[in-house]
Amino acid sequence: MTLVHTEGESNKAAARQEWSARQSHAPSQELLRRDADAFLHQSLSSPCVSAIAKAEGIWIEDTAGRRYMDFHGNSVHHIGYGHPRLKEAIRRQMDELPFAPRRFTCQPAVELAETLGKLAPGDLGKVLFTTGGSDAIEVSLKLARAATGRFKTLSFWDAFHGAGFGASSVGGEATFRSGIAGPLLPGTEHVAPWAPHNCAYGTNSLEESARACANMIAYVLGREGDFAAFIAEPMRATPLVPAPGFWKAVREACDRHGTLLIFDEIPTGLGKTGKFFASEHDGVTPDIIVLGKSLGGGILPIASVIARRDLDVAGDYAIGHYTHEKNPVTARAALTTIAIIREEGLVERSAELGAHALARMNDLMRRSPFVGDVRGRGLMFGVEMVEDKASRMPARALAEKIYYRCLDQGLSFKISQGNVLTLSPPLVIARADLDRALDIVEAAVLAA
């Protein structure tokens, strides 16, 4: 089940346990007890809030038989869970060729690399696969170091790029940086992200914040002059959409100072925002794109680094030496997922349904004194809960209350930044189901 992703996670444990206890299903409680006993405990994972028995389409079902529309899905479920075409393709591939030892290639892996190279913008045509997004981020960092002869990176505070040492070093979420003795990766510097009402920049609008943020990035890159890469999500998955011109200003600053631009499209790529790559909205081509999560169709783990062809400079080094680097089964899953997204028109569907959902949530903002902002692109959008619209003070307790009220009504999502209801439905969702989910959110907010 989805966990509430907020600051002060320890303070939320009681709410999760209370909700779980209310379910009073003995087999579920026993499985949760075993989970807590068997797994190392960590924020956002064990202990869990419930136990899943089934995942199909847009739905997850717990061990007590309760069904939930999943509007979180860890961003893997673009084509829904258990897509029949994907399961059949995986079965066939397992019969034909279940594994390829490293140093041997295979048809599905080569075809996937070629496909991603053709889909990527500009001259991004050289590819490497890993088993997860965090590993792919670290491959991109190694490649940037090899290509530039530099080791430093710049990224945003509050960003998430993975849980590995390198990925959590360039990330800026306290949950993934604290509690570890000793330093993280050296040379990983951060700036405050753009955001409306950003106290770091003393601004009261998204445009002012974005301009100040872009200026700060340019200043830091120029002041130090030795950054290998700037890494960020083109649209923050919290979610937060950049102001017009922001990424063009950052691209220009990177070019001036010889810094590579890496876009982490692990949550936003493959059509989630209404474009195949979220960066297409802003007309900016990075030097490296990282994909993951939904690339495996919600069944198998696979991630990818797609780099400019002239960045293929590390042939004498092992920058991503993974056992499953060219696994034919995971490659087939990714190829089939891409085919489903393109052939079923899911990118266009995301844009259409996303516009409908944002219109409804904007209407909700006009009716509720506690909705401070509605933002997003395509089928990744958020509703910011505030104490009042004048102060825009985050209403974290209210957001949590709304979350559990929606969960009781059969809708699961996550909370970002403590107070943003973050809704990310599968691209295959029927409009009627989307409207049903939005009805649940509206009722929960208006009852606050």
199, pLDDT greater than 80: no
Taking phi over 0 as left and psi of -120 to 50 as alpha, with beta for the rest, 329 belongs to: alpha
Contact predicate 437/421, CB 8 Å: no
Spatial CA neighbour of 334 closest among 297, 308, 371:
297
Contact predicate 380/237, CB 8 Å: yes
378, pLDDT greater than 50: yes
Domain locations along the chain = 57-79+346-446, 84-343
Decide: residue 15, CB within 10 A, 0-12 exposed, 13-18 middle, 19+ buried.
middle
| Residue 100 token pair | 């390829």
Q: What is the pLDDT of residue 13?
A: 59
57-79+346-446 maps to CATH 3.40.630.30: no
Rounded CA gap, 260 and 154, in Å?
A: 10
50, pLDDT greater than 90: no
pTM attached to this predicted model: 0.94
β-bridge mates for residue 414, sequence order: 422
Q: What is the pLDDT of residue 1?
A: 38
What's 97-156 look like in SS3?
Answer: CCCCCCCCCCHHHHHHHHHHHHHCCCCEEEEEEECCHHHHHHHHHHHHHHHHCCCEEEEE
Phi, psi (degrees; rounded to nearest 5) at 307? -120, 160
In total, the chain counts a number of residues equal to 448
Taking phi over 0 as left and psi of -120 to 50 as alpha, with beta for the rest, 299 belongs to: alpha
Given this structure, which CATH class describes domain 84-343?
Answer: alpha beta
Spatial CA neighbour of 438 closest among 423, 428, 427, 419:
423
Q: Pick the range with the lowest mean pLDDT from 37-51, 158-172, 270-284.
A: 37-51
Burial pattern 212-236, b for ≥16 Cβ within 10 A else e, equals bbbebbbebbeeeeebbbbbbbbbb
- What is the mean pLDDT of the segment spanning 74-84? 97
Encode pLDDT of 388-433 as tens digits.
988 889 999 999 999 999 999 999 999 998 999 999 999 999 999 9
Query: In the structure, what pLDDT confidence band is assigned to residue 7 with cuts at 50, 70 and 90?
Result: very low
- What is the mean pLDDT of the segment spanning 298-327? 95
Rounded CA gap, 234 and 282, in Å?
A: 8
Q: What is the pLDDT of residue 20?
A: 61
Mean of per-residue pLDDT scores for the chain: 92
Spatial CA neighbour of 148 closest among 250, 284, 288, 265:
288
- What is the mean pLDDT of the segment spanning 228-233? 98
% of the chain surpassing 90 pLDDT: 80
Encode pLDDT of 253-279 as tens digits.
999 999 999 999 999 999 999 999 999
CB atoms within 10 A of CB 418: 18
Helix (H, G, I), strand (E, B) or coil at 259: coil
Q: What is the pLDDT of residue 16?
A: 63
Q: What is the pLDDT of residue 23?
A: 67
Q: What is the pLDDT of residue 202?
A: 76
Q: Pick the range with the lowest mean pLDDT from 13-17, 55-59, 110-114, 286-290.
A: 13-17
206, pLDDT greater than 70: yes
% of the chain surpassing 70 pLDDT: 94
151, pLDDT greater than 50: yes
CA angle (267 as vertex; 312, 84 as ends), nearest 5? 100
Query: In the structure, what pLDDT confidence band is assigned to residue 17 with cuts at 50, 70 and 90?
Result: low
Q: What is the pLDDT of residue 181?
A: 67
32, pLDDT greater than 80: yes
